[in-house]
A and B are shown apart, each in its own frame.
Chain A
């Protein structure tokens, strides 16, 4: 079946299979490989993208269900003011190590900060419960968020 949707602000018409996941559609059909598959069971959060602004695990989200919706992936964050700030802060603060979880953290955090521009650290740790990072121990990711918030407040 064909679905028509918006991906990173661009209208796309894609043919998808009935059991196809959003992750499979993004990576295989649209070659947007920035979104990663870590577990294919909705546990690790590496495949997080935004559907109509809400973070979802794209590995367990039906491609067909995106019809008429707007999808944002890590590749689109450079066009988003908040996304760009977070990307730069992750690199500057040491929030990136192997980087495989990074796209999922960035998309999750864009959604979190749009909703609540100044979350407390406990609120952030709770909001990140669906994203696993095996390298950093999370502290430098939290530093990156703090730097993003203070940088945006200064502007």
Chain B
């Protein structure tokens, strides 16, 4: 019986529900001591005094390290612009200035507080537009000396506070605007969003025999290996990263955080294991949150209201250091005209250094606010024209074969229409419109997205008892991509139950490179690599069984825990017997597989700064939300939420629905609850989970989900990425629904009760004025 598409309990479920699972924060080692960081209390300033002597004098303190104790080098995922410790200037609140190791956590924190740190404040660059003005102070006066992580040849457009730029300027845009019958213009502003995984970041580092080992719950162990090696100036293989169960990440645990400090402190403490754990406030203040952004978009319309050209400019907040962000800047090109016809489209994406915590990857990178902008804009145009919003979208919707701004051809974009149809069948638009009540509204929106193509590898090892182990550096951030997806795919191939497949936790000394749990890639990429590895196991099983069964290997099949003669299932031998025989004759059975998705063809001349040139393995998404606004409190309740999503093929129904329900919930938080404001001083206003308000059980409806299956010929059992798509559109559809409910546009995210009340009051005033006229 096939286990693909079946409800299979996740392999780590029992351990997680019993309290047995060992998360990063649970890891301990014999003789372990504790670390704490001294962090800058201001967002911009010059260090005038740093005295570690009072901390070093405390009994029980093993080491205090500063920039003077770390290699004089800069590190970074894309651009090497970051030092381990601030040396002379501090560039954001929370930036590490020193680190302490002591016998206990309490003592380490006391010693950190005893370090004398004096900072002369400097003006903070915070406002995105102001940061780009010629007279703006430079966050990095030495920006020109920074080297891309892949070397000088991998450089990209950047200048001063402009951390990265991608511009596409196809012919015909200005002509179309000149002859336009009407031009519609919008500006949208979105705040940051904190990933707010429930397990704070932690790391346990040891330095022994010239090598660093760091235990951490990390989404991308090989990336943290590389970052530790850059910061500590050793070759990558001198660093070993050992993974643990991850208490949520959502992109924030893709780059190094506490790991290099734990490693360096251990070396300073003569090899004692040192553990660092963020407090929740440290975690919030320094997390690479989703970037805030300003998006300006205008469209030229002909006399029929058809969009004949578009211009989209986005300015995104990089924070004080670059992280992954420059690599993502060109995503604007793929979303500005991603699912609707819009004629020639000029796209300018700018990434800006500010004196704030570095931003980074959060599920659905860049897409959440780009689609919010495009879809709010579509509603605005439809309102200007006085036409139905859904109909207007369908009029411009892509069909099969559409060529994008980058030259990539979407052969299957017609799936979008299937998505609109699936939503229509469950929530007919005309019926929703007919049943309208005061303070209720609906919104609809569409998107396309990629499945991250980056490489992965796996070894499938057959034990002599007939069970299999999968050795991989892939990580399960909670999605079930490993504990269900990869597990099911290997079980299916080997004809054994999923409970007989054990996938290891990552260890960079053991498993080959894997690009981590990002971009919905794991089920597809690591699933495929594991399938290839399992096929090698099958070939070896058949070769050995051929001797045992006195049959030709080509006449054999592996199924139901046996190797058997095709068409004669009675003539069989258990896999365990074949595995044990192999071990003692030809040698133990194992197989290796690797996989990477090639980038689709694109036109390299279409834009400057084209770091992420095209979207491999596209998927399509249509969402609808119905909301109710409370005119007294300004709160918005989401009454109904529908998702039609192209998924390739469903491997695990629970895993797929879990990603949809969970991603939409994070999107509802982004749209309505999760306010993360930055003051003029560059410091966050919200600093705890009390003020940073996450969605609770009472805030979300049960999502109605309509999977659209179009199996991908290259994916394992047709699988494509699932995890990111669900968060792309909630801000768009909820903003449109709230606008529909109160008859006023709301163009900022999040839509807090204060903003709703302010909009309602403006609307009331306008009504009164009209009445008096």
Categorize the interface residue count of chain A.
35 or more
* Interface-central residue, B17, B250, B479, B657, by most chain A CB under 10 Å: B17
Q: Identify which of A40, A77, A129, A134 contacts B279 (C-beta below 8 A).
A: A40
Asked whether any CB of chain B lies closer than 8 Å to the CB of A137, the reply is yes
- List B contacts of A92 (CB < 8 A): 7, 9
Asked whether any CB of chain B lies closer than 8 Å to the CB of A43, the reply is yes
Asked whether any CB of chain B lies closer than 8 Å to the CB of A55, the reply is no
CB of B476, distance to nearest CB on chain A (Å): 9
- List A contacts of B696 (CB < 8 A): 125, 128-129, 132, 138
Asked whether any CB of chain B lies closer than 8 Å to the CB of A68, the reply is no
CB of A16, distance to nearest CB on chain B (Å): 14
Closest to A129 in B: B696
Asked whether any CB of chain A lies closer than 8 Å to the CB of B248, the reply is yes
Asked whether any CB of chain A lies closer than 8 Å to the CB of B216, the reply is no
Contacts known (A38-B200, A137-B665); A43 close to B19, Cβ less than 8 A: no
Asked whether any CB of chain B lies closer than 8 Å to the CB of A63, the reply is no
Contacts known (A37-B25, A43-B690, A98-B247); A139 close to B18, Cβ less than 8 A: no
Asked whether any CB of chain B lies closer than 8 Å to the CB of A150, the reply is no
Question: Are A134 and B666 interface neighbours, CB within 8 A?
Answer: yes
Q: Identify which of B10, B18, B196, B478 contacts A87 (C-beta below 8 A).
A: B18
Taken residue by residue from 82 to 118, chain A's Cβ proximity to chain B (1 for < 8 Å, 0 otherwise) reads as 0000011011111011111111001000000000000
* CA A141 to CA B662, docked complex, whole Å: 11
Question: Are A136 and B661 interface neighbours, CB within 8 A?
Answer: yes
Contacts known (A75-B19, A129-B697, A134-B197); A93 close to B703, Cβ less than 8 A: no
CB of B753, distance to nearest CB on chain A (Å): 18
Asked whether any CB of chain B lies closer than 8 Å to the CB of A22, the reply is no
Taken residue by residue from 55 to 69, chain A's Cβ proximity to chain B (1 for < 8 Å, 0 otherwise) reads as 000000000000000
- List A contacts of B661 (CB < 8 A): 136-140
Question: Are B198 and A34 interface neighbours, CB within 8 A?
Answer: no
- List A contacts of B695 (CB < 8 A): 137
Question: Are B698 and A129 interface neighbours, CB within 8 A?
Answer: yes
Asked whether any CB of chain A lies closer than 8 Å to the CB of B14, the reply is yes
Taken residue by residue from 114 to 155, chain A's Cβ proximity to chain B (1 for < 8 Å, 0 otherwise) reads as 000000000011101101111111111110000000000000
Contacts known (A43-B690, A124-B697, A139-B702); A132 close to B198, Cβ less than 8 A: yes
List the count of A-B residue pairs having beta carbons below 8 Å apart.
Answer: 165
- List A contacts of B198 (CB < 8 A): 36, 38, 44, 46, 98, 100-101, 132-134
CB of A133, distance to nearest CB on chain B (Å): 8
- List A contacts of B655 (CB < 8 A): 94
Taken residue by residue from 647 to 664, chain B's Cβ proximity to chain A (1 for < 8 Å, 0 otherwise) reads as 000000011011001111
From 256 to 270 in chain B, residues with beta carbon under 8 angstroms from any chain A beta carbon are none
Asked whether any CB of chain A lies closer than 8 Å to the CB of B712, the reply is no
Q: Identify which of B280, B478, B702 contacts A98 (C-beta below 8 A).
A: B478
Question: Are A33 and B480 interface neighbours, CB within 8 A?
Answer: no
CB of A135, distance to nearest CB on chain B (Å): 5
Q: Identify which of B9, B247, B698 contacts A36 (C-beta below 8 A).
A: B247
Closest to B26 in A: A33
Question: Are A137 and B700 interface neighbours, CB within 8 A?
Answer: yes
Asked whether any CB of chain B lies closer than 8 Å to the CB of A78, the reply is yes
Closest to B692 in A: A43
Contacts known (A87-B17, A137-B662); A99 close to B247, Cβ less than 8 A: yes
A interface with B by C-beta (< 8 Å): 32-41, 43-44, 46, 73-75, 77-78, 87-88, 90-94, 96-103, 106, 124-126, 128-129, 131-142
Q: List 20 A-B contacts (CB under 8 A).
A: A34-B20, A39-B280, A40-B280, A41-B688, A74-B18, A74-B19, A77-B18, A88-B17, A90-B17, A94-B10, A94-B654, A96-B13, A98-B477, A102-B16, A128-B697, A134-B197, A138-B697, A139-B700, A140-B654, A140-B657
Given contacts A36-B199, A98-B16, A135-B662, 8 further A-B contacts (CB under 8 A): A39-B280, A40-B280, A41-B690, A74-B17, A87-B18, A129-B698, A132-B694, A137-B661
B interface with A by C-beta (< 8 Å): 7, 9-10, 12-14, 16-23, 25-26, 195-200, 245-250, 279-280, 477-480, 654-655, 657-658, 661-666, 688-690, 694-698, 700, 702-703
